[in-house]
């Protein structure tokens, strides 16, 4: 009886999920893990994998672009499901704020752990989870304003280009290199093993918002049925659990390479 209830609950949950975002995130998770293995190997046991070129760089970019695009897409889908289909914006805002808190706590945990693991110089200061928490909070309020979001994207792109020539943004770096690196990416005194500044990556998230609005509009549409292909379905399952996988995969890889270094 318990198993049948559990199965029914799982099926009911699936009815409210859109399969394509989970499938895309599944691809990103696989690419991320395949990149992080040689990446951590270089850091811990001093191997010389070329992570800044070739296939490994492609894997990193695939994971980064899909994850950040999916953040914007998921904001739109959550708004569509809760604010449009269920006609309840309060639930939408509540869910997004819970999401921000959950991701923010993981980001804080990552900062603390990496500071102990890698030292005070290269630990994660504003990584993908920090970026996700901040960007969700910024754009959860404007999800149904595509013109505003499009204008914001153009403005951010312009500021990002201008910032590469320093100019007025030098004053931000003088105030705080950390603040400058969170917003832009020009401070050579700042280094981190995982960094996603807002100006360079927010436009990709906004594209996810805009495409979500384009495809789902402002009329209630039921989620399309999941694919029956077993390989694609497995990828969906991985994507649906991407938060958990992200939280545990890095410590596992770290411990494995630490053990290998100790043994050798």
**pLDDT attached to residue 188:** 46
Q: Is residue 28 part of a domain?
A: yes
pLDDT tens per residue across all 264 residues of the chain:
434 434 444 444 555 567 788 889 999 999 999 999 999 898 888 888 998 889 999 999 999 999 999 999 999 999 988 888 888 899 999 999 999 999 999 999 999 988 888 877 778 888 899 999 999 999 999 999 999 999 999 998 887 777 666 555 555 555 555 555 555 555 445 567 788 888 889 999 999 999 998 887 767 776 666 666 777 888 888 988 988 998 899 889 989 998 988 887
| 116 part of a folded domain | yes
- pLDDT at residue 3, rounded to an integer: 44
Give the model's pLDDT for residue 215: 82
Question: Domain for residue 81, yes or no?
Answer: yes
On whether residue 4 sits in a domain, the answer given is no
Within-domain flag for 1: no
Q: Is residue 6 part of a domain?
A: no
Residue 3 lies in a domain: no
Q: Which residues constitute the domain of residue 70?
A: 12-263
| Model confidence pTM above 0.85 | no
**How many structural domains are present in the chain?**
1
Query: Domain for residue 2, yes or no?
Result: no
What is the pLDDT at residue 161? Answer: 77
Ramachandran area for residue 87 (φ above 0: left; ψ -120 to 50: alpha; else beta): left
């Amino acid at each position: 009886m318990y198993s049948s209830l559990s199965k029914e609950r799982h099926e009911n949950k699936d009815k409210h999920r859109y399969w394509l975002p989970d499938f895309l995130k599944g691809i990103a998770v696989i690419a991320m893990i395949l990149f992080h293995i040689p990446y951590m190997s270089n850091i811990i046991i001093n191997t010389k994998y070329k992570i800044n070129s070739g296939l490994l760089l492609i894997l990193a970019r695939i994971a980064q672009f899909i994850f950040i695009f999916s953040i914007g897409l998921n904001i739109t889908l959550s708004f569509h499901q809760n604010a449009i289909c269920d006609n309840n914006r309060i639930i939408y805002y509540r869910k997004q704020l819970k999401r921000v808190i959950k991701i923010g706590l993981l980001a804080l945990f990552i900062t603390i752990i990496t500071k102990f693991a890698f030292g005070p110089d290269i630990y994660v200061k504003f990584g993908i989870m920090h970026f996700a928490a901040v960007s969700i909070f910024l754009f959860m309020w404007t999800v149904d304003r595509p013109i505003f979001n499009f204008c914001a994207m153009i403005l951010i792109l312009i500021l990002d280009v201008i910032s590469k020539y320093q100019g007025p943004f030098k004053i931000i770096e003088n105030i705080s290199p950390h603040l400058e690196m969170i917003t832009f990416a020009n401070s050579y005194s700042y280094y981190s093993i995982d960094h996603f500044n807002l100006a360079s990556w927010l436009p990709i998230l906004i594209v996810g918002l805009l495409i979500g609005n384009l495809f789902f509009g402002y009329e209630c549409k039921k989620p399309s049925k999941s694919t029956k292909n077993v390989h694609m379905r497995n990828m969906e399952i991985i994507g649906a659990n991407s938060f958990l996988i992200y939280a545990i995969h890095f410590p596992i890889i770290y411990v494995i390479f630490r053990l290998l270094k100790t043994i050798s």
